[in-house]
Structure 1
Amino acid sequence: MLVPLRSDLFTLQCWSGDKVTIAFSKDCHDREIISWIASSKRIDGTMIRDLMAESVEKRFGKVNKVPHPLQWLSDNGPQYVARDTVHFGRLLGFEVCTTAPYSPEINGMAEAFVKTFKRDYVAFGDLSSAQRVIEQLPLWFEDYNEKAPHKGLKMLSPREYRRKLAT
């Protein structure tokens, strides 16, 4: 059975007119945001490949590829379907999959995270500039992983759930 990772990207509009684009990888089993990147410029395939490599390292340590079958599911954005990105993902051991065009519900867990993140963090943040948003992101992601309860995890946060499984 493939353990799925989901990846997506979304854009935040700052009050100054700046935009911040964020890409992330999410473990569908424990709901943890494993890795993320943010930029006030366009996120390209190179950045997605870095996200993939960082996700593997954060979850499995310094390994050349994932130790068991793992699916990487994303939408059909150009940074995800780029030949170099798909090839790199396969080298890491991922089964690289994309959703059908105009079918965001297939990547529903990632889409739900974006909605929750905007509701619970962005709505209360300082959106004055791209720099200010990017400065707050580490705290927001850490809070989400450590403290945000999930109904599907019996009201535990992703990391609480992982710790419980480890005992």
Structure 2
Amino acid sequence: MHDNGPEFVEKKLKASLKSWNSVDCNTPTYSPQSNGMCEALNGTFKIDYVYESCLDNTQTVFNQMQKWA
């Protein structure tokens, strides 16, 4: 989930999301509360899981996510 900023309209990112079987969705327009919740979740996920596990690349993160769920 994201706020539909310029980095999320790039064709390369959209292709990557599709190859990862990820759903591309954005927060409602003019809804800073929704974006704040999304940013908090992303930050917590990175701090508690990604950084703690010393994961080097996206493939390793995706493989590890199955164990965290």
Report the equivalent of 2:29.
Answer: 98
Consecutive unaligned residues of structure 2, counting only runs of 5 or more, are 4-11
The yes-or-no answer on 1:8 pairing with 2:2 is: yes
Task: Say if 1:124 and 1:73 are closer, same or farther in 2 by CA, change over 3 A.
Answer: same
- How far apart, CA to CA, are the structure 2 residues paired with 1:136 and 1:122? 9
What is the Cα-based RMSD across aligned positions, in Å?
3.2
CA contact (8 A) 1:73 1:99 kept: no
* Greater share of residues in strand: 1
How much does 1:116 deviate?
A: 0.8
- Secondary structure of the residue aligned to 2:2 is strand
How much does 1:126 deviate?
A: 3.6
Number of residues of Structure 1 aligned to a counterpart in Structure 2: 56
- How far apart, CA to CA, are the structure 1 residues paired with 2:57 and 2:26? 31
- How does 1:67-82 map onto structure 2 within 5 Å? 74=27
2:66 to 138, 163, 166: 138
- Secondary structure of the residue aligned to 1:131 is helix
Report the equivalent of 1:56.
Answer: none
- Secondary structure of the residue aligned to 1:127 is coil
CA contact (8 A) 1:127 1:133 kept: yes
- How far apart, CA to CA, are the structure 2 residues paired with 1:42 and 1:73? 14
* Greater share of residues in helix: 2
- Indicate the structure (1 or 2) with the bigger Cα radius of gyration: 1
Q: Percent identity at matched positions?
A: 32
Report the equivalent of 1:51.
Answer: 23
- How far apart, CA to CA, are the structure 2 residues paired with 1:111 and 1:132? 22
Consecutive unaligned residues of structure 1, counting only runs of 5 or more, are 1-6, 10-40, 53-71, 75-96, 143-167
How much does 1:112 deviate?
A: 0.8
> Which aligned runs of 4 or more in structure 1 are off by greater than 6 angstroms?
none
TM-score normalised according to structure 1 size: 0.26
